[in-house]
């Protein structure tokens, strides 16, 4: 009997669609299709054609933007205004990928610098790395697909895409759009499968590159199982620490932190989570942040006024509730929120001074919870901010240039935002975690470069 997966609207748990899943016996055909395409250099998609396909895809996506917004909301539960922003970002991402194709190039390597290297000219060129296997996460179903699939196509690689089982519809819609835009058959295969089948796929020696977005536990496990020579990029999560100094501008900072903490109900890998606030302004900070947080509208993500929608599943609501209750039992004070609204939604919550040993302090919450910790010594606060093994994006709010630069230097992060929240991202910047938070850098152009490999050609001639 064929296995299926049900796509559920997270807000009311209604079934959106039921789709067939492949099993282990289907993986060989998928891999062989991609392998045959890559082995046949005569049929590689030339650069001009890849540009044409992606430009047309961006045009079609723009045309179907409302439909894509509807799909993303129905499977992921992200509110309308944020889903709309995601779809616009995804379209821009496709355009960025098309533009970057012209920058896939090598360089001349000087020869004749020694007697042994006379009569030679040498240059490098970039080639597609090979088959890309991409495993994705649920929280940005279309934009992540663009970052993993469209980049592979731009680099000239056949790609096998496994979307998150909860949110495959956006990836399937993107595949249809790319096909309509002229992508030849087999260059993108979308597979829905269980974890065991997924592992079989990514660890096959025919796979040249794994792009993984998801939990650190799964990412590092899969990396340990990869075939020799398979390169990978892993993007996990973090705890996004923020340092707030006493001279911070409240009018700029409060809306920024509310957005960064509660956007998509905190289900973002760089969502504001741990805020270390100078004791001198802590009371005022709590009052203002709480005031702004209480104004957030929690509700149906299809409603255009909704600020915070549902979590991806009731199981996640249960987990967030457990973690908040544990933090309170261990000494944290609830400033606002702290309770479930329904089986699928949780109040935007601010906790004051939870124990550094509570789960909300030591793990990525991935829910609508922000923790505030007062400090008197900034270096101590930075030390606590750096204490976990996850390091992704961080932030500091201050108008003092020296403090801003010193804090940015000392925070262990791949990116530090000054007077902006930790969740800031544009798709042409490098983006990724360090240490346990990941490997390699995302961002459209950075990913395309990682999906290519360099070849050196040395030409020997008496005429040179």
| Spatial separation of the C-alpha atoms in residues 436 and 450, rounded to whole Å | 20
Give the SS3 label for residue 391.
strand
Contact 235, 387 (CB under 8 A): no
Query: What's the residue count for the chain?
Result: 464
User: 235 an active-site residue?
Assistant: yes
User: 193 an active-site residue?
Assistant: no
As a dihedral over the C-alpha atoms of residue 320, residue 325, residue 328, residue 334, rounded to 10 degrees, the angle is 60
Q: What token pair was written down for 180? A: 């309509």
Catalytic residue among 235, 245, 316, 364: 235
Ramachandran bin of 419, using left for φ above 0, alpha for ψ from -120 to 50, beta for the remaining angles: left
| Spatial separation of the C-alpha atoms in residues 216 and 115, rounded to whole Å | 51
Query: 133: closest CA among 45, 50, 234?
Result: 234
Contact 94, 151 (CB under 8 A): no
Kindly provide the b/e burial profile for residues 61-77, where b requires at least 16 CB atoms within 10 angstroms of the residue's own CB.
Answer: beebeeebbbbbbbbbb
Ramachandran bin of 353, using left for φ above 0, alpha for ψ from -120 to 50, beta for the remaining angles: left
Q: What is the largest CA-CA distance in the chain?
A: 81
Q: What token pair was written down for 157? A: 């690689």
Catalytic residue among 269, 282, 316, 364: 269
| Spatial separation of the C-alpha atoms in residues 318 and 343, rounded to whole Å | 8
Q: How far is CA 67 from the centre of its chain?
A: 22
Question: What is the torsional sign of CA 177, 179, 181, 183?
Answer: positive
Contact 224, 234 (CB under 8 A): no
Residues 6+ apart with CB under 8 A from 77: 9, 10, 11, 265, 301, 309, 310, 311, 312, 344
Q: Active-site residues: which are they? A: 235, 269
């Amino acid at each position: 009997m064929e296995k299926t997966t049900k796509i559920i609207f997270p807000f009311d748990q209604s079934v959106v669609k039921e789709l067939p899943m492949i099993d282990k016996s289907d993986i060989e055909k998928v891999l062989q299709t991609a392998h045959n395409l890559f082995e046949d250099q005569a049929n590689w998609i030339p650069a001009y054609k890849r540009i044409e396909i992606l430009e047309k895809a961006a045009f079609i996506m723009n045309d179907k933007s409302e439909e894509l917004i509807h799909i993303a909301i129905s499977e992921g539960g992200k509110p309308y205004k944020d889903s709309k922003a995601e779809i616009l970002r995804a379209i821009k991402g496709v355009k960025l990928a098309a533009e970057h194709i012209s920058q896939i190039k090598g360089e001349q390597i000087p020869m004749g610098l020694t007697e042994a290297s006379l009569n030679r000219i040498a240059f490098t060129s970039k080639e597609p790395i090979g088959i890309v296997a991409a495993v994705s996460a649920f929280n940005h179903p279309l934009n992540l697909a663009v970052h993993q699939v469209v980049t592979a196509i731009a680099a000239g690689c056949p790609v096998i895409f496994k979307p998150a089982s909860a949110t495959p519809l956006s990836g399937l819609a993107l595949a249809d759009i790319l096909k309509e835009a002229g992508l030849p058959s087999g260059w993108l295969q979308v597979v829905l499968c269980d974890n065991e089948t997924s592992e079989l796929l990514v660890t096959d020696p025919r796979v040249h590159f794994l792009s993984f977005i998801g939990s650190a536990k799964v990412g590092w496990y899969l990396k340990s199982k990869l075939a020799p020579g398979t390169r990978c990029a892993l993007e996990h999560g973090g705890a996004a620490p923020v340092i707030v100094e006493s001279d911070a501008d409240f009018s700029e900072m409060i809306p920024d932190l509310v957005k960064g903490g509660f956007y998509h109900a905190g289900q973002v890998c760089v969502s504001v989570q741990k805020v270390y606030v100078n004791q001198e302004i802590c009371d005022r900070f709590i009052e203002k942040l709480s005031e702004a947080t209480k104004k957030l509208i929690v509700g149906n993500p299809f409603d255009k006024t909704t600020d915070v929608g549902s979590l991806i599943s009731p199981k996640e609501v249960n987990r967030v509730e457990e973690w908040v209750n544990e933090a309170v039992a261990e000494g944290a004070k609830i400033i606002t929120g702290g309770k479930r609204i329904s089986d699928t939604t949780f109040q935007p919550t601010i906790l004051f001074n939870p124990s550094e040993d509570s789960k909300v302090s030591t793990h990525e919450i991935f829910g609508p919870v922000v923790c505030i910790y007062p400090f008197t010594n900034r270096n101590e606060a930075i030390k606590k901010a750096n204490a976990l093994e996850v390091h992704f994006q961080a932030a500091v709010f201050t108008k003092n240039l020296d403090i801003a630069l010193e804090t940015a230097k000392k925070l262990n992060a791949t990116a530090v935002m000054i007077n902006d929240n930790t969740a800031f991202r544009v798709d042409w910047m490098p983006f990724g975690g360090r240490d346990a938070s990941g490997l390699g850098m995302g961002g459209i152009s950075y990913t395309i470069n990682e999906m290519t490999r360099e070849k050196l050609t040395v030409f020997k001639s008496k005429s040179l």
